[in-house]
Amino acid sequence: MLGDLLHRRLVFVTGKGGVGKTAVTLALAAAATRARRRVLVVEVNPHGRVGEYLGGVTLGPEPVEVAPGLSVAAIEPTVILEEFALRILRIRALARRLLQSQTFRIVAAAAPGIDDFLTLVRIAGWEDARTGLQRRRHRFDLVLVDAPATGHSVPLLATPGSLLKMLPFGPLAGTARELALLLSDPERTAVAVVTRAEEMAVNETLELSSAIMRVGVPLLPTIVNAVAPLRFSRAELRRLLKEPPDVPASLRPHAAAGAFSAARQRAAEREIRRLGRALATSPVALPLLATQRFTPAAIDELADAIERVGTRRRARAVA
């Protein structure tokens, strides 16, 4: 997983609400910075929790480094709309006057996908940002987008294609074409879908993955978050799930709790296998953390798990 991530320059992280998408995004960022990558985490959701998980950091419209190699920024609709108006009119005073126009605000609000289009333009600008005296080096090696939840991610990624169908010519069409090329380039861009090992979550993940593939954006292996630790061996599972349970008399009072945990373990394994078969990939399982709220320490713990997964996969590949 980490190798797939580091191979790209732009990765969108999405998934059903409540699966831990933001925590996984920050853990991927932490693992990438450990591999000496300069990472920018972009928060698209105006009610996102990136700043909270980082210990109370305030995100703004411009990237700010909050740890060695890690910068954060947030997409602010008013800022990207002002930049868009300035690009059209070239004079800031005229752009601000246009933005203050009630008619313009109504038209901008009614225009299908304009916010998504401008969001992608902003993200693409950060992906291509250069630094240094001769502007030869990218400012960021990896841009990680904490994308909207399932319902809005596909329309966001489909925006360039949708816009090209409506406006096949002109300056906006040229920008949309560049965005479409960026999003479909497997060497630069990919989507990581985060889910849980539960039937409904996996069903939604399969639908989302199919929709993303139809849009033409490459997919990384699915990340299954918050997988409970294996408490029982195969033999112990069989004993607990017998009727009556095959356990010593002294453990009978606890057998029901054990059988419930064993059943959940088997159900989670079944859903992970189903996910892998349907997408023809090996999902990445991240552990359930014993914490009530995410902190930088919890993010580091998830990053450790991501690195362990990468180490195991490299070892299997060598073997």
Rounded Cα–Cα distance for residues 254 and 237 (Å): 14
135 Cβ contact partners less than 8 Å away, ≥ 6 residues apart: none
The pLDDT assigned to 60 comes to: 92
Rounded Cα–Cα distance for residues 227 and 19 (Å): 11
Orientation of helix 114-128 relative to helix 77-89, angle to 10°: 80
The pLDDT assigned to 8 comes to: 95
Rounded Cα–Cα distance for residues 63 and 48 (Å): 16
3 Cβ contact partners less than 8 Å away, ≥ 6 residues apart: 310, 313, 314
How far the first Cα of the chain sits from its last, in Å, is: 18
The pLDDT assigned to 78 comes to: 67
Rounded Cα–Cα distance for residues 30 and 64 (Å): 16
Global pTM exceeds 0.85: yes
Give ∠ CA 309-189-216 in degrees, rounded to 5: 110
* Residue ranges of the chain whose pLDDT lies below 50: 91, 94-95, 98, 103, 106-107, 110
The pLDDT assigned to 222 comes to: 96
The pLDDT assigned to 106 comes to: 47
The pLDDT assigned to 14 comes to: 96
Give ∠ CA 264-266-267 in degrees, rounded to 5: 65
Which string of b and e fits 207-228 if b means at least 16 CB within 10 Å? Answer: ebbebbeebebbbbbbbbbbbe
The pLDDT assigned to 95 comes to: 47
Domains recognised in the chain with CATH numbers:
2-230+281-318 (3.40.50.300)
Tell me the two tokens of residue 1: 């997983």
Phi, psi of 142 (to 5 degrees): -145, 130
